[in-house]
Structure 1
Amino acid sequence: MGLRWTDTLDIAIELSEIHTDVDPQWVRFTDLHAWICALPHFEDDPAKSTEGVLEAIQMAWIDETD
C-alpha cells in the first residue's frame, strides 16, 4: 500500500532522503505539495491535501533533519 496524506512521518522521511540539500523550514507549501505528489510510493488524491496536513509534514521533516 502506498503513502497517503496521513502518513506524515513516512512522507517526511522520504523527503529528507530525496531532498538532502534542502532546509525544510524554507520550503513553500506549493513546492512541498508537488514534491510529495512526485514521491514514487505516494498514492493519495493530490486534491485531498490541506494546509494543516502540509504543515504537519513540514514539521516532521524539520524534526527528521535535526
Structure 2
Amino acid sequence: MRWTDIQDIAIELEDAHPEKDNLNLRYTDLHKWVCALEGFDDDPEKSNEKILEAIQMAWIDERED
C-alpha cells in the first residue's frame, strides 16, 4: 500500500485498531499506525495533513458501514 491507497488503508486501520477513537485522534498517531500496517510500503515522509485527513475520513466511513 501507498499513501494514495486511502480506502485500503482505512480498511486495514479498522481491522488493526477497532478500539481506537478515530474521530478524536492525533495525526502523529495516525501516521505511526499507517506506517506500521502490514503491506504498507511507502516513504513515511511523503504524507501530509491533507492525506492524513482523507485517511481519517475514510476510516470513519469504514466504521460506519
For residue 45 of structure 1, what is the aligned residue in structure 2? 43
For residue 55 of structure 2, what is the aligned residue in structure 1? 57
Distance in 1 between the 2:17 and 2:40 partners? 16
For residue 5 of structure 2, what is the aligned residue in structure 1? 7
Query: What is the identity, as a one-letter code, of the residue corresponding to 1:23?
Result: D
TM-score, scaled relative to structure 1: 0.94
Q: Which runs of 4+ in 1 moved over 3 A?
A: none
Residue pairs, 1:29-40, within 5 angstroms: 29-40=27-38
Shift of 1:26: 1.0
Gaps of 5+ in 1: none
Cα RMSD for the two superposed structures: 0.5
Identity %: 61
